[in-house]
Amino acid sequence: MPELSHRRRMLVLAICCMSLLIVSLDNTVLNVALPSMQQDLHASTSGLQWTIDAYTLVLASLLMLAGSTADRIGRKRVFMAGLVVFTVGSVLCSLAPNLEALVVFRMVQAVGGSMLNPVAMSIITNTFTDPRERARAIGAWGAVVGISMAAGPLVGGLLVESVGWRSIFWINLPVGLAALLLTLRFVPESRAPRARRPDPVGQVLVIALFGSLTYAIIEAPSTAFASLAPLVVLALAALTALLWYEPRRAEPLIDLRFFRSAPFSGATVIAISAFAALGGFLFLSTLYLQNVRGLTALEAGLWMLPMAVPTFVCAPLSGRLVGARGPRLPLVIAGLAMTVSAVLFAAFEAETSNVTLFIGYVLFGVGFGFVNAPITNTAVSGMPRAQAGVAAAVASTSRQLGQTLGVAVVGAVLASGVGASTYREAFVSAARPGWWVLVACGFAVLALGAVTSGQWARGTAERAAAALESADVRDAVATADRS
């Protein structure tokens, strides 16, 4: 890709951030609308989980395929296709006649979404080649998540109150169309120097693993274990097959050599933990504020601002810290803040007091604001630029998998605890085990952030990158000899 002027690079960053905005906004807006959707569509707790997890599950399953495909046939081309599919999926969601149709249309949305975030991150990585400038660009990218968290509950609350829950999907239309036209005009095409071949077997195994695991977790509270046992066996078989099959391919869907880098492996687990905490946090908070406290969608959105504003403020600060001092400090701050926030809810029932509820939301917002930039920067900065799309896709997959598991696990724990009681009667006690799950997630961010960001870890990243580049050179020579 040719070197771009500073102004053009900033424009490319803004366009890529627009795609992140509609994908992130979709999740935060949807959470506020859950109680209205539950009433209108007569949905159970597991039904609400599926409106979120059907999207994140498909997204997680296809992100690596989208990243490698974009590296192969062109990032701009795949990015534009994703914008079209996501926008069409949003229209279909707004027209869904029942819960089953909504879940299916959310999956259509996710197919488009899988072509957006990892591909946009790959475009950013190849546009901003200076490490410090790239870290700041990724910090700005992370700030968009804060914008979506700040605007999503308010916009969603206003739309749900005034028009109805279907209108939450309309906001994707103008942003998606504007991003599509701007991409066509201003984003240059780029691709990896050497195309990677598709890996259909690996893709099927990933879908089998994620799908069976998520279904088993969500349905566990209402289904006998004997009925779920085949799904557990399928998940284990798919995982075993992936670990056996992928290293034997010259160009696998998941290049397990990436995980020889301690920072990359750490970033993957940190992403799963942080976004599991986010998914569970939003799910519990939204249901509590509206179904237990009896707040309207708009009032619940206003209550989410103490979490959203710190995320927006801290994300660019985190990017600057990563560029100046590395990822350790932002990750430690993130893990500590998220852990303390979850402990307030798990041990002290923070939701029962306005003061502790406010403090818990602020702390979680600070933690989540600091965690995004070091995850992304660590995942892509140690890898060869030719593998940027795949590396970014693994990081994005980890995020979506984490959010999927967070909603699945916390929702299952909540459904099991509530049982036949009403939300108002049993919610606080039923949610406590879920909050302890989030405590564990926050502590994982803290511990792994400290361990995988030191000198030893950087050494493993350098050796992994060198091995990947050497293997790519050997493969390229072998391909040239055969031709």
- pLDDT, tens digit (0-9, with 9 covering 90-100), for 100-130: 999 999 999 999 988 887 788 778 877 887 7
pLDDT score at 251? 76
Mean pLDDT, residues 204-229 taken together: 82
Q: What one-letter code names the amino acid at 14?
A: A
Confidence check: pLDDT of 470 > 90? no
Q: What is the DSSP letter of 95?
A: T
- How many CB atoms sit inside 10 A of residue 99's CB? 19
Is pLDDT above 70 for 456? yes
In the block, residue with structure tokens 């406010």: 358
Question: Both tokens of residue 247?
Answer: 């290293």
Mean pLDDT value across residues 318-338: 89
What pLDDT, on a 0 to 100 scale, did the predictor assign at position 292? 87
Report how far residue 328's alpha carbon sits from residue 399's, in angstroms, rounded to the nearest whole number: 19
Most confident segment among 4-8, 155-159, 273-277 = 273-277
Output the pLDDT for position 472. 59
- Quote the pLDDT of residue 182: 92
Whether this prediction's pTM lies above 0.75 is answered by: yes
SS3 of the chain: helix, strand, coil, percent, to 5 = 85, 0, 15
DSSP 288: I
Q: Which tens digit of pLDDT belongs to each residue from 32-57?
A: 888 888 889 888 878 888 888 888 88
With bands split at pLDDT 50, 70 and 90, how would you rate the model's confidence at 236? very high
Average pLDDT, integer, range 157-182: 89
Asked if residue 60 has pLDDT above 60, the reply is yes
447 against 470, higher pLDDT? 447
pLDDT band at 319 (very low <50, low <70, confident <90, very high): confident
pLDDT of 476 > 60? The answer is no
Average confidence (pLDDT) over 215-234: 81
Q: How confident is the model at residue 31, as a pLDDT? A: 79
pLDDT at 221 over 60: yes
Q: What is the pLDDT of residues 368-423, one digit of tens each?
A: 989 887 887 777 666 666 666 566 667 778 888 888 888 888 988 888 877 655 66
426 near 60, Cβ under 8 Å?
no
Helix (H), strand (E), coil (C) string for the chain: CCCCCHHHHHHHHHHHHHHHHHHHHHHHHHHHHHHHHHHHHCCCHHHHHHHHHHHHHHHHHHHHHHHHHHHHHCHHHHHHHHHHHHHHHHHHHHCCCCHHHHHHHHHHHHHHHCCCHHHHHHHHHHHCCCHHHHHHHHHHHHHHHHHHHHHHHHHHHHHHHHCCHHHHHCCHHHHHHHHHHHHHHHCCCCCCCCCCCCCHHHHHHHHHHHHHHHHHHHHHHHCCHHHHHHHHHHHHHHHHHHHHHHHHCCCCCCCHHHHHCHHHHHHHHHHHHHHHHHHHHHHHHHHHHHHHCCCCHHHHHHHCHHHHHHHHHHHHHHHHHHHHHCCHHHHHHHHHHHHHHHHHHHHHCHHHCHHHHHHHHHHHHHHHHHHHHHHHHHHHHCCCHHHHHHHHHHHHHHHHHHHHHHHHHHHHHHHHHHCCCCHHHHHHHHHHHHHHHHHHHHHHHHHHHHHCCCHHHHHHHHHHHHHHHHHHHHHHHHHHHHC
Other CB atoms within a 10 A radius of the CB of residue 131 amount to 12
Average pLDDT in the chain = 84
pLDDT of 83: 94
- pLDDT tens readout for residues 298-317: 888 888 889 888 888 888 78
